[in-house]
C-alpha cells in the first residue's frame, strides 16, 4: 500500500505544519480533516505562546525575505512610508525615495505567499497626492490614509515642504480609492502625527501642523467619526504632553491610548509616556512614570515600533556599539517655516472637499526658524554624520609623523625594518537592536508605570540586519515585519532607501 503524509505521527505532522507561514496556508490546512484542524489549532496556540515567551526572553531571530524570481514585480525602496496589516496582507502606502521623490502608490505584501502586488484603483477615482509621513490604519475592509507631506526638490534650494489635510479611503473589496466629502471642520494640514482606531472613531494626536500664520508641532487631539466621516476637535485636560512629532501611539483598548517618545524640536527628543483616558466628555491626560530608562531605546522618534501583548517593541541602535547614526544639529522639518506670501491660507489641499466651517485654532507654541541646511542636504529630516572627526584627525597626524620618520631614517642610512602586515580590521556592524518596554501596569489605578526590560546582547538578535531609520514595523501572526527605511553605506557614507523585508520570529526547534 502507498504511504501518505497522514501516516506520520501527530508530533511530526504538527512540526511540518508549523513550518508554513501562519496565514492562509494554515487556514487551508484546517479544512483537510478533523485531525488536521486540531493540529492547526495546536500550531496557532504554540506560535502565540512561543512568540510571547520569545519576546520576554529575547529568544528571537531575524530572517530576511528574498524574492524567489527577480522578474516578479516588487515595490521600490522608500522611507517615511505608512504600513498596516489586515488579515494576511501587509499594505504599504507612499513614502519618499533617496532622490526626494514621494510616492502615492499602494502595495500589498501577501504574508502567506510572500509576494508583492500593486493595488490599483478601478474606475474614475483619483489617487491621493504623493506624500510621506502620513498615517494609514485599517478599519473593517477599508484603509484610511490621512495627512502627510511632500518633500521639495533639491533645486532650487530652500523650498518649503507641502503639508496635506487629505483624507482618502481605499476599499479593499471594491479595490478603489474614495474621498469622503466633509462639510464639518477638519484638522489643519499635518504630517508626522499618529492615529489609532477606537471603536467607530479614529483618534489623531500631535504632528507638524500648518496654520494660517505658522507651522509648528502640536499636541491637539482630533477625532474622526468613521460612520459619518465628520471631524471634531476633542477637548482634553489642561495637563497634557508637550507638542511633538514622530511619536508612538499605542492603543490600549477602546477607551485608552498611550503616547511615547517623539521629537519636540531641534535636539529636543522625548522619552516620556502619557496615557489618554477617553471615558468622559473632557478626555484626561496623565503622565506615566518610566522605570529602568537605561535599557530604553536609543532614539524614540526615527525608529519604528509596534505593540505586542502589553509590550512596546522598539527598534534602535545597540547601545554597546559605536554610534554611527547621530542626531544632526540641523533638522529641517521643512525648508521654510513662514507661510508663503500671496497665498490663501484657507485654500483646500484636496479639491474634492466641500468648503467647511473651520474650527478656531487653539494657540500653539511656535518654533524659532531652524538653521538652513546646505543645498545638497536634501533629506529634509535628519542625516547621517561621522561621529569621530577627532579620531580621523589623529590618524592623519600619526600617518604624517610616520612618513617623516621614514624619510629621516633613509637619510641616515638606517635599515628600515620590513613593514608589519596590519591585522585585518573587523568591519564595524551597526545592527538593528530590539528594545522592549513592559506596559502591563500602565492602566493600574494606584501606581501605574511602564518599565523597560533588559535584553540579551544589547538587543542584537541572530541575523540582525544593518541599522536603518524611518522604516516601519508591524505585527503579524507570531512574527514582526520590518520594511524599507534609509540605510547608510559604511564605505562612502552615503545613504539610500531600501525595499528589504525582514521578519522577527522565534527560531524553529528541531524535534
Query: Residues 134-191: pLDDT tens digits?
Result: 999 999 999 999 999 987 777 777 777 789 999 999 999 999 999 888 777 889 999 9
- What is the predicted pLDDT for the residue at 374? 36
Sort strands 215-225 and 115-118 into parallel, antiparallel or unpaired.
unpaired
CATH of the domain at 33: 1.20.1280
Cβ atoms < 10 Å from Cβ of 435: 25
Please determine, for residue 59, whether its predicted confidence score (pLDDT) is greater than 90: no
Q: Which of 338-364 are b and which e, b meaning 16 or more Cβ less than 10 Å from the residue's Cβ?
A: eeeeeeeeeeebbeebeeeeeeeeeeb
> What count of other Cβ atoms lies within 10 Å of the Cβ of residue 179?
18
Q: Give mean pLDDT, residues 242-266.
A: 93
- Does residue 259 have a pLDDT over 80? yes
The percentage of the chain sitting over the pLDDT mark of 90, rounded to a whole number, equals: 43
151/299 same-domain check: yes
Question: Average of pLDDT values for 403-432?
Answer: 65
The owner of cell 505593540 is 307
Residues 6+ apart with CB under 8 A from 132: 78, 79, 80, 81, 94, 95, 96, 102, 103, 148, 149, 150, 151, 191
Q: pTM here?
A: 0.79
Q: Hey, what's the torsion of the CAs at 249, 114, 177, 27, to 10 degrees?
A: -90
Extract the C-alpha cell encoding 167.
483624507
CB burial of residue 230 (10 Å; 0-12, 13-18, 19+)? middle
Q: Residue 403 falls within a domain, yes or no?
A: no
More confident residue, 181 or 1: 181
- Asked if residue 189 and residue 283 are part of one domain, the reply reads yes
Percent of the chain with pLDDT over 70: 80
Q: Is residue 115 in some structural domain? A: yes
CA–CA separation, 258 and 236 (whole Å): 14
137 beta partners: 144
| CATH code for the domain of 144 | 2.120.10.80
The whole domain housing 496 covers 61-319+429-505
171 lies in the same domain as 219: yes
289 touches 277 (CB < 8 A): no
Same domain, 26 and 129: no
For 436-445, what is the mean pLDDT? Answer: 93
Question: Mean of the pLDDT values across residues 317-323?
Answer: 62
Average pLDDT over residues 486-509: 83
| Max mean pLDDT range (36-50, 292-306, 332-346, 440-454) | 440-454
pLDDT band (50, 70, 90) for residue 420: low
Residue with cell 484657507: 346
* Per-residue pLDDT tens digits for 265-293: 888 899 999 999 999 999 999 999 999 99
pLDDT (average), residues 351-363: 48
CB 18 within 8 A of CB 43: yes
Other CB atoms within 10 Å distance of the CB of residue 454 = 12
Question: What domain count does the chain have?
Answer: 2
At 417, is the pLDDT very low, low, confident or very high (cuts 50, 70, 90)?
A: low
Pair (17, 156) in one structural domain: no
The x, y and z cell numbers of residue 505, run together, are 520570529
Determine the average pLDDT of the residues in 327-341: 37
The answer as to whether 303 is a domain residue is yes
In a domain, 467, yes or no: yes
Same domain, 31 and 83: no
- Check whether residue 38 and residue 75 sit in a common domain: no
Q: How far apart are CA 63 and CA 353, in angstroms?
A: 44
Q: List pLDDT tens digits, range 228-250.
A: 899 999 999 999 999 999 999 99
Both 169 and 223 in one domain: the answer is: yes
Give the least confident one: 280-289, 321-330, 496-505.
321-330
Same domain? For 75 and 171 the reply is yes
The residue that leads in pLDDT, 99 or 35, is 35
Are 21 and 27 within 8 A, CB to CB?
no
Whether residue 340 lies inside any domain: the answer is: no
Residue 84 has pLDDT above 60, yes or no: yes
- Cβ(246)–Cβ(206) under 8 Å? no
pLDDT of residue 328: 35
- Whether the per-residue pLDDT at 116 is higher than 60: the answer is yes
DSSP single-letter state for residue 29: H
CA atoms within 13 A on the CB side of 387: 11
Query: Within 10 A of 9 (CB to CB), how many other CB atoms are there?
Result: 9
Which of 284, 308, 367 has the alpha carbon at shortest distance from 333?
A: 367
Integer Cα distance of 131 and 149 in angstroms: 5
Is there a single domain that holds both residue 133 and residue 151? Answer: yes
Q: Which residue has the higher pLDDT, 478 or 390?
A: 478
Residue 327 covered by a domain: no
Gyration radius (Cα) of the chain, Å? 26
Instruction: Kindly state whether residue 347 falls inside one of the protein's structural domains.
Output: no
Residue 400 included in any domain: no
Given pLDDT bands bounded at 50, 70 and 90, which one contains residue 490? low
Joined grid coordinates for residue 5 = 503524509
pLDDT above 90 (res 306): yes
Q: Does position 40 have pLDDT exceeding 70, yes or no?
A: yes
> Angle CA(24)–CA(30)–CA(33) in degrees, nearest 5?
150
344-348, 374-378, 494-498: which is most confident = 494-498
Q: Are residues 46 and 86 in the same domain?
A: no
- Look-up of cell digits 505608512: 82
* Residue where a domain stops, chosen among 21, 39, 57: 57
**Residues 91/489, Cβ–Cβ less than 8 Å:** no
Query: Which of 380, 270, 375, 271 minimizes the C-alpha distance to 330?
Result: 380
On average, the pLDDT of the chain sits at 81
> What span, in angstroms and rounded, lies between the C-alpha atoms of 435 and 214?
36
Q: Using CA atoms, how far apart are residues 191 and 60, in angstroms rounded to an integer?
A: 33
Contacts of 427 (CB under 8 A, 6+ apart): 490
> Strand order in 480-483's β-sheet?
61-65, 501-505, 480-483, 472-475
Domain end residue (candidates: 40, 57, 74)? 57
* Beta bridge partners of residue 224, listed in sequence order: 202, 231
Q: What average pLDDT does this structure show over 107-126?
A: 88
**16 and 77 assigned to the same domain:** no
d(CA 395, CA 398): 5
Amino acid at each position: 500500500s502507498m504511504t501518505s503524509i497522514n501516516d506520520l505521527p501527530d508530533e511530526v505532522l504538527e512540526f511540518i505544519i508549523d513550518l508554513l507561514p501562519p496565514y492562509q496556508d494554515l487556514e487551508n490546512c484546517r479544512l483537510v480533516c478533523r485531525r488536521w484542524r486540531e493540529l492547526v489549532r495546536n500550531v496557532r496556540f504554540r506560535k502565540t505562546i512561543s512568540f510571547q515567551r520569545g519576546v520576554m526572553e529575547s529568544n528571537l531571530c531575524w530572517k530576511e525575505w528574498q524574492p524567489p524570481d527577480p522578474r516578479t514585480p516588487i515595490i521600490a525602496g522608500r522611507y517615511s512610508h505608512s504600513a498596516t496589516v489586515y488579515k494576511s496582507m501587509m499594505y504599504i502606502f507612499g513614502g519618499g525615495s533617496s532622490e526626494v521623490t514621494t510616492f502615492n502608490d499602494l502595495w500589498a505584501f501577501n504574508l502567506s505567499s510572500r509576494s508583492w502586488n500593486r493595488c490599483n484603483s478601478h474606475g474614475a477615482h483619483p489617487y491621493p497626492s504623493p506624500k510621506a509621513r502620513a498615517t494609514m490604519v485599517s478599519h473593517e475592509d477599508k484603509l484610511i490614509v490621512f495627512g502627510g507631506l511632500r518633500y521639495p526638490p533639491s533645486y532650487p534650494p530652500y523650498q518649503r515642504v507641502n503639508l496635506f489635510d487629505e483624507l482618502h479611503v481605499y476599499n479593499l473589496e471594491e479595490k478603489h480609492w474614495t474621498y469622503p466629502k466633509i462639510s464639518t471642520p477638519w484638522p489643519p494640514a499635518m504630517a508626522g502625527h499618529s492615529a489609532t482606531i477606537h471603536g467607530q472613531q479614529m483618534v489623531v494626536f500631535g504632528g507638524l501642523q500648518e496654520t494660517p500664520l505658522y507651522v509648528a508641532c502640536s499636541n491637539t487631539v482630533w477625532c474622526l467619526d468613521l460612520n459619518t466621516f465628520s471631524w471634531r476637535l476633542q477637548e482634553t485636560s489642561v495637563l497634557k504632553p508637550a507638542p511633538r512629532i514622530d511619536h508612538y501611539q499605542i492603543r490600549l483598548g477602546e477607551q485608552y491610548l498611550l503616547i511615547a517618545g517623539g521629537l519636540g524640536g531641534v535636539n529636543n527628543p522625548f522619552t516620556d509616556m502619557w496615557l489618554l483616558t477617553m471615558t468622559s466628555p473632557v478626555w484626561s491626560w496623565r503622565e506615566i512614570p518610566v522605570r529602568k530608562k537605561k535599557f530604553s531605546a536609543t532614539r524614540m522618534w526615527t525608529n519604528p515600533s509596534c505593540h505586542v501583548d502589553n509590550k512596546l517593541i522598539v527598534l534602535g541602535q545597540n547601545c554597546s556599539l559605536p554610534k554611527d547614526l547621530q542626531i544632526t544639529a540641523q533638522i529641517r522639518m521643512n525648508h521654510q517655516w513662514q507661510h508663503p506670501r500671496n497665498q490663501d491660507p484657507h485654500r483646500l489641499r484636496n479639491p474634492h472637499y466641500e468648503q467647511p466651517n473651520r474650527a478656531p485654532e487653539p494657540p500653539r507654541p511656535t518654533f524659532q526658524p531652524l538653521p538652513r541646511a546646505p543645498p545638497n542636504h536634501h533629506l529634509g529630516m535628519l542625516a547621517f554624520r561621522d561621529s569621530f572627526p577627532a579620531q580621523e584627525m589623529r590618524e592623519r597626524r600619526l600617518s604624517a609623523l610616520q612618513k617623516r620618520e621614514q624619510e629621516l631614517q633613509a637619510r641616515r642610512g638606517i635599515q628600515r625594518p620590513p613593514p608589519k602586515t596590519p591585522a585585518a580590521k573587523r568591519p564595524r556592524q551597526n545592527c538593528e537592536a530590539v528594545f522592549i518596554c513592559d506596559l502591563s501596569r500602565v492602566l493600574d489605578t494606584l501606581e501605574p508605570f511602564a518599565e523597560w526590560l533588559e535584553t540579551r546582547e544589547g538587543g542584537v538578535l541572530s541575523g540582525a540586519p544593518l541599522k536603518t531609520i524611518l522604516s516601519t514595523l508591524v505585527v503579524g501572526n507570531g512574527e514582526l515585519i520590518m520594511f524599507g527605511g534609509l540605510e547608510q553605506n559604511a564605505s562612502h557614507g552615503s545613504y539610500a532607501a531600501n525595499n528589504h523585508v525582514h521578519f522577527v520570529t522565534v527560531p524553529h526547534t528541531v524535534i
